[in-house]
A = this chain, B = another copy of it.
């Protein structure tokens, strides 16, 4: 894409994202839904004004890093510790229920075969795609509702992070059945290694940043170093430990979340995020969808895939939350908050294509699941939270300051 195309695309993307975001808000839906719809409209499926490109996907990647870094910065560490055990249990349910449900769905569609057959592995891979929750849209929706840091919000976030790690372990296990070079013990060691490194190096970095922040509070260098740290940790997580980059960004945010200037850093990230990178990220989800690629069989399979994908997370995580002692409505919020899928599902799918365990025609199903879950989750969360506040006495329209001055 040449320089002028880039300028044109970004102008179109940010203006349409804002207009559709405001439109969504008028219809009482979260702004992200509007942004994704703007992407669908602008993309190859409909108007074709903006084509997916390497440049835009690079910008979108920075967008999701900023979003996860910001979520990390806003994490209440006390809450996280309090919800840790419950979050782990919920994450486990959120991985294994969809894994099994997805496998069964494929086998029902294309016929059962014995364990170890190609058919079985293809089925298992469809299940694997369903495991990874993509929390970025939920984060944005909870942020708009001003509910990111309460107990339910923190539980969803922590469960999604743990879910990510377990999901990657499952993916590596499933692939390692086929490819002997990928050893399970290595993967476990690498994952443990990353978190040990994150805690160890994190403690040193935190000390350094705290010293810098005390010496130069509210200066440009503080958010710049913070951002560089988030980018570096994202890179290191994925490159050297095989953990998704967004997990690295989230961990970087958590490391800096106890700084005096954490809110200051967060505000600067937020400007970068809402002006350019955020809209590009959400619009590009819509952009990537080419509706024309759908045929009847895939359409039917996709419907099943989407339903199973959504329900298995809601039921799995919701029931586990209930078992962990959350109230009915809160359990439902957690289940719904966990049902979004995003770029991780696409990454897993691409991996499956590479190792010959997935046909590219299933990409459409995955993208549909991403879009539908991305649109449904924010709407349902908003409904659930407004129900909550109606029960509590009609305090439902109190949104965060962030959203109020959109």
Indicate if A274 sits at the interface (CB-CB under 8 A). yes
Q: How many of chain A's residues touch chain B, expressed as a range?
A: 35 or more
Contact of A57 among B3, B22, B54, B62 (CB under 8 A): B3
Indicate if A192 sits at the interface (CB-CB under 8 A). no
Smallest CB separation, A243 vs chain B (Å): 12
Indicate if A361 sits at the interface (CB-CB under 8 A). no
Smallest CB separation, A144 vs chain B (Å): 12
Indicate if A225 sits at the interface (CB-CB under 8 A). yes
Inter-chain CA distance A131–B120, complex, in Å, is: 69
Stoichiometry (number of copies): 2
Task: Look across to chain B and name the residue whose beta carbon is closest to the beta carbon of A279.
Answer: B224
Q: Known A15-B228, A268-B271, A271-B272; judge A7-B235 contact (CB<8 A).
A: yes
Smallest CB separation, A211 vs chain B (Å): 16
Task: Look across to chain B and name the residue whose beta carbon is closest to the beta carbon of A276.
Answer: B272
> Which residues of chain B have C-beta atoms less than 8 A from A228's C-beta?
11-12, 14-15, 18
Task: Look across to chain B and name the residue whose beta carbon is closest to the beta carbon of A221.
Answer: B18
Inter-chain CA distance A54–B4, complex, in Å, is: 13
Q: Are B58 and A1 in contact (CB under 8 A)?
A: yes
> Which residues of chain B have C-beta atoms less than 8 A from A272's C-beta?
271-272, 275-276
> Which residues of chain B have C-beta atoms less than 8 A from A405's C-beta?
218-220
Task: Look across to chain B and name the residue whose beta carbon is closest to the beta carbon of A234.
Answer: B7
Given contacts A10-B62, A18-B220, A54-B55, 9 further A-B contacts (CB under 8 A): A3-B58, A3-B61, A6-B62, A7-B235, A11-B228, A11-B229, A218-B405, A271-B272, A272-B272
Binding site for B on A (CB under 8 A): 1, 3-4, 6-8, 10-12, 14-15, 18, 22, 54-55, 57-58, 61-62, 65, 218-221, 223-225, 227-229, 231-232, 234-235, 238-239, 245, 268, 271-272, 274-276, 405-406
